[in-house]
């Protein structure tokens, strides 16, 4: 039981990371294109 | 209750510490990548330093950090912060912005054909060989998915689909990383030795190396065009992950466990679909429209720098995540299956990439 829960938790984290990566990536893209993040700020 | 809260807070702090380690090593990677060629200019090391790219520094620093933290006894507690999947997927969404959408549309046909054939052949071979050697069917499902689709994330999806045990997942994930690490360096060398064109090299790397982060590292070592094609091919494989996971759920419910409860619905497919693929496509469309409507090209250069930062964090995490211990427990049979499947993947992948991408122009 406990082991199944752990696999489920791992799977949920993977799905959440999927969405988080999509949102973070697109927000960063939007901020750069809108010139809110200037080039000199990115090392 | 208070004890649970304290424990949760403590593991959150350790995870934050893990992220801080990744960022620190990532910053060091960026520093070395930019400054070592300057420091060594004019010396005998200059030529070598110039050709060493950021994935090499990142992975080596990750492995070094891994050894130091393991020695200090902190590694396992910090591991929750080594989020390879998040970093690589964010990097890939940003990478979408550097690829004209027309290139994705053009590459989609051969990429889908290659992904479909490779997954079918390599999954089928691994499943068959695992069966011949008497490997537990859940572990067979995990190994077959990991080697034929997209490494760790495929293993996680398959583990959920077939209700695999935690140790089986840890074992498969370790094997993926152990096989992926050398291929990051060996495949670019093989590309040089075979004199492959950038699109064929990219398609071979994308179809071959299991884990998406390692595909990007090897692609980046070959060059920008190879990285783009490798990413398109790997993303296509990722997109097919949902289909395989749902098929596995149905197969295990109906044939292996015989519970008769198979959930094959549109919703199950959507749940298992890797959402970052949508982000990757959206970024490509947004950047293409932005440039076509006269947008500033230097903004895309900034997006590319951001993408490199996330890829560096992912590559550092690969090094930090590397573990040999789970492999000792499972014996040689699954390693033999995985190694054989990797060889089949290499050969069939090279054949398909040459066939489908030899005349490709971006």
Mean pLDDT of B83-91: 90
Q: B266 vs B221, which has greater pLDDT?
A: B221
Alpha-carbon distance B242 to B331, whole Å? 30
Q: Is residue B39 predicted with pLDDT exceeding 90?
A: no
Confidence (pLDDT) at A17: 85
Tell me whether residues B160 and A28 touch, CB distance under 8 A: no
Q: Which of A15, A21, A35 sits opposite B279 (nearest CB)?
A: A21
Greater pLDDT, B243 or B137: B137
Specify the range with the lowest mean pLDDT, choosing from B12-16, B58-62, B83-87, B328-332. Answer: B328-332
DSSP designation for A37: S
Q: pLDDT class for B351, splitting at 50, 70, 90?
A: very high
Distances (CA, A) of B134 to B75, B128, B173, B271, B330: 34, 10, 20, 32, 13
- Closest CA relative to residue B284, chosen from A24, A18, A26, A15: A26
Partner residue facing B166 (CB), from A6, A21, A37: A6
**B276 → chain A, closest CA residue:** A22
Name the closest residue on chain B to residue A11, using Cα atoms: B156
Which residues are CB-neighbours of B88 under 8 A, at least 6 positions away?
A21, B212, B213, B216, B310, B311, B314
Q: Is B333 left (phi over 0), alpha (psi -120 to 50) or beta?
A: alpha
Are residues B29 and B312 in contact, defined by beta-carbon separation less than 8 angstroms?
yes
Residues of B in contact with A5 (CB under 8 A): none
Residues of chain B found within 8 Å of residue A26, distances taken between Cβ atoms: 93, 279, 282-283, 286
**DSSP secondary structure letter of residue B359:** T
Burial of B63 (0-12, 13-18, 19+ CB in 10 A): middle
ipTM of the complex: 0.85
Between chains, do B305 and A4 touch, taking CB under 8 Å as contact?
no
> Please, are residues B307 and B314 in contact by the beta-carbon 8 Å criterion?
no
Cβ-nearest to B302 among A14, A21, A32? A32
Model confidence band, residue B280 (pLDDT cutoffs 50, 70, 90): very high
Q: Min CA distance, A15 vs chain B (Å)?
A: 7
Q: List CB contacts (< 8 A) between B278 and chain A.
A: 22
Does A11 contact B166 at a Cβ distance shorter than 8 Å?
no
Q: How far apart are the first and last CA of chain A?
A: 47
Mean pLDDT along residues B40-46: 80
Q: How far is it, in rounded angstroms, from Cα B112 to Cα B281?
A: 15
Three-state secondary structure call for residue B209: coil
**Which of A31-35, B158-162, B192-196 has the least mean pLDDT?**
B158-162
Interface probe with A: pick from B279, B294, B300, B310, most Cβ of A within 10 Å: B279
Measured in angstroms, the CA of B153 and the nearest CA of chain A are apart by 7
SS3 A35: coil
Q: How confident is the model at residue B23 (pLDDT cuts 50, 70, 90)?
A: very high
Q: Do A14 and B89 touch (CB under 8 A)?
A: no
DSSP reduced 3-state for B210: coil
DSSP B170: H
Mean pLDDT, chain B, whole residue set = 88
A→B contacts (Cβ < 8 Å), by residue, are: 3-4, 6-8, 10-11, 14-15, 17-26, 28-30, 32-33, 35, 37-39, 42-43
pLDDT of residue B362: 66
CB-closest option in A17, A33, A35 to B86: A17
Cα B78 to Cα B106: distance, rounded to the nearest angstrom: 43
Q: Please, which residues have CB within 8 angstroms of residue B301's CB and are 6 or more apart in sequence? A: A39
Contact B93 A22 (CB under 8 A): yes
Quickly state the pLDDT bin for B263 (edges 50, 70, 90).
Answer: low
Q: Do B305 and A43 touch (CB under 8 A)?
A: yes
Question: Is the pLDDT score of B49 beyond 70?
Answer: yes
């Amino acid at each position: 039981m406990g082991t199944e829960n752990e696999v489920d938790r791992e799977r949920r984290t993977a799905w959440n990371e999927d969405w988080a990566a999509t949102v973070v990536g697109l927000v960063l893209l939007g901020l750069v294109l809108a010139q809110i993040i200037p080039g000199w700020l990115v090392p | 209750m208070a004890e649970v809260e304290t424990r949760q807070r403590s593991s959150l702090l350790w995870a934050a510490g893990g992220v801080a380690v990744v960022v620190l090593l990532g910053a060091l990677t960026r520093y070395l990548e930019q400054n070592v060629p300057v420091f060594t200019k004019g010396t005998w090391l200059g030529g070598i330093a110039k050709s060493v790219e950021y994935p090499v520094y990142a992975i080596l620093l990750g492995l070094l950090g891994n050894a130091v933290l393991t020695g200090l006894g902190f590694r396992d507690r910090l591991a929750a912060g080594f989020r390879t999947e998040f970093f690589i997927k964010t990097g890939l969404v940003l990478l979408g912005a550097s690829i004209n959408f027309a290139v994705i549309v053009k590459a989609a046909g051969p990429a889908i054909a290659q992904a479909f054939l490779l997954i079918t052949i390599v999954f089928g071979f691994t499943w068959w060989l695992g069966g011949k050697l008497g490997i537990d069917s859940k572990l067979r499902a995990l190994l077959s998915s990991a080697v034929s689709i997209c490494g760790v994330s495929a293993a996680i999806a398959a583990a959920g689909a077939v209700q695999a045990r935690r140790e089986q997942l840890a074992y498969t994930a370790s094997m993926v990383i152990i096989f992926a690490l050398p291929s990051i360096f060996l495949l670019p060398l093989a590309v040089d030795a075979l004199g492959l064109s950038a699109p064929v090299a990219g398609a071979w790397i994308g179809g071959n190396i299991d884990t998406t982060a390692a595909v990007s590292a090897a692609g980046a070592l070959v060059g920008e065009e190879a990285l783009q094609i490798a990413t398109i091919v790997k993303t296509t494989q990722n997109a097919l992950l949902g289909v395989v996971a749902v098929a596995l759920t149905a197969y295990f419910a109906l044939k292996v466990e015989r519970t008769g409860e198979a959930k094959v619905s549109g919703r199950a497919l959507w749940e298992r679909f890797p959402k970052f693929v949508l982000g990757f496509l959206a970024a490509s469309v947004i950047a293409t429209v932005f440039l076509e409507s006269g947008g500033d090209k230097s903004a895309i250069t900034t997006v590319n720098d951001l993408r490199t930062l996330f890829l560096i964090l992912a590559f550092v995490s690969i090094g930090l995540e590397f573990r040999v211990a789970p492999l000792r427990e499972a014996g040689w049979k699954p390693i033999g299956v995985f190694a054989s499947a990797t060889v089949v993947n290499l050969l069939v992948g090279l054949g398909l990439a040459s066939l489908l991408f030899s005349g490709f122009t971006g």
